[in-house]
Amino acid sequence: MKVFKEKQGFTQLWIIVLITVSTLVPLFIIGNEYLKADTKVSSFEVYLTIGLTVFVASLIFLFKLSTRIDEKGIYYQFFPFHLRLKTIPWTSIEKAHVRKYNAISEYGGWGLRGGFFWKKSKGKAINVSGNVGIQLELKNGKKLLIGTNQEEQAKQVLQHYHSKIKANYHENEN
């Protein structure tokens, strides 16, 4: 039995820099206002602003994409939107392959993307970084792309289970 497992989070340097800057700017502004002699800002407001700003900025680091592929199918979880793994059994999959994609032009960015507000023909994407994903075309006509940073391992495990997809395809033809 071959198993593929991957966990990803938003840990790119550019995101950390962007969040740090967007956190420090409001803190600097409220701090300067609080230090003025004729300030109308209370200590409570300063602490509340600091607490809320740091809390909101750190939320991005809670987001985690977990992927698993085994003999039963493909599982994914995008925490905190999915509290447990979602399962796509091999019997529901028409095609599965690893491909390169453009997160911005194809899906509108990273995260839980696509569907109603974006190019509906592309389906949905769940990704946190990079430009490689596991493209699934389901028997119900839906498409799902799950981002991966382990391109070769994902290709190998999909190739290993390719017979399960092909067998299900031929069963439905008859």
Question: Does residue 150 lie within any of the structural domains?
Answer: yes
H or E element at residue 109: none
SS (H, E, C) 131-167: CEEEEEEECCCCEEEEECCCHHHHHHHHHHHHHHHHH
Which among 125, 130, 111, 108 is positioned nearest to 60, based on CA atoms? 111
The answer on 71 and 54 residing in a single domain is: no
Q: What is the CA radius of gyration of the chain?
A: 22
N-to-C CA span, the chain: 28
Domain enclosing residue 84, as ranges: 65-173
Reported pTM: 0.79
Q: Please give the tally of structural domains in the chain.
A: 2
The answer on 117 and 31 residing in a single domain is: no
Question: Does residue 126 lie within any of the structural domains?
Answer: yes
Question: Does residue 4 lie within any of the structural domains?
Answer: no
The answer on 23 and 41 residing in a single domain is: yes
Could you give the CA distance from residue 172 to residue 174 in angstroms, rounded to a whole number?
6
Taking CA atoms, 135 is separated from 105, 107, 128, in Å, by 16, 13, 15
Question: Does residue 87 lie within any of the structural domains?
Answer: yes
Per-residue pLDDT 10s for the chain (174 aa) are 789 999 999 878 888 898 889 889 888 888 888 888 888 888 898 889 889 888 888 888 889 999 999 999 999 999 988 999 999 999 999 999 999 999 888 888 888 887 666 666 678 999 998 899 999 999 999 999 999 999 999 999 999 888 777 655 445 544
Question: Does residue 37 lie within any of the structural domains?
Answer: yes
Amino acid 95: pLDDT: 93
Question: Does residue 1 lie within any of the structural domains?
Answer: no
Question: Does residue 3 lie within any of the structural domains?
Answer: no
